[in-house]
């Protein structure tokens, strides 16, 4: 049985290393995961799991039957209840065991596991909504204070600021 770890963070300002450390320090002794099987991705949780390039490659080409996929928290799989449910079902159909270290039950295919999955994925979606609200409130507050938001006028996101012209 091969064990993989999936670590996801939303922005380049965040770091996946803490997730990896927590997984390696878990009571279930996931210390034996080789670095090559610790899969890290920086992408928003609102992007469906199977539309994330690294996760898609992991599920379709790297991991297979009788493998274990470990995530620190269920919300690392996503922030949308339906997408999380779909992803967990897909993993189960492929014979991949999912271990979420923040869930108190390990068998997500049992009635209790399905219930816990429903509850925790609903909380992940709720949390996403709260994050969005707080972000909007912060942006509105900054605008009221006169802070200019966005890129400087005349630039694009592909503009190389270090190039001399």
Residue pair 69/98 in contact (Cβ under 8 Å)? The answer is yes
In which order are the strands placed within the sheet that holds 97-100? Answer: 38-42, 3-9, 68-71, 97-100
Catalytic-role residue among 10, 44, 106, 156: 10
Tokens standing for residue 83? 């997408």
Q: How many CA atoms lie within 13 A of 32 on its CB side?
A: 6
Active site residue 10: yes
The residues assigned a catalytic role are 10
């Amino acid at each position: 049985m091969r064990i993989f770890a999936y670590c996801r963070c939303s922005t380049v300002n965040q770091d996946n290393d803490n997730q990896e450390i927590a997984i390696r320090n878990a009571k279930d002794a996931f210390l034996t995961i080789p670095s090559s099987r610790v899969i890290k991705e920086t992408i928003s949780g609102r992007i469906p799991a199977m539309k994330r390039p690294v996760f898609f490659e992991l599920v379709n080409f790297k991991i297979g039957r009788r493998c274990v996929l470990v995530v620190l928290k269920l919300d690392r799989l996503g922030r949308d209840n339906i997408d999380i449910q779909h992803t967990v079902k897909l993993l189960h159909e492929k014979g991949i065991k999912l271990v979420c270290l923040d869930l108190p039950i390990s068998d997500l295919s049992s009635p209790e596991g399905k219930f816990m999955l429903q509850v925790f994925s609903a909380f992940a979606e709720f949390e996403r909504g709260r994050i969005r609200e707080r972000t909007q409130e912060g942006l509105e507050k900054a605008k009221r204070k006169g802070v200019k938001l966005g890129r400087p006028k005349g630039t694009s996101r592909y503009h190389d600021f270090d190039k001399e012209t």
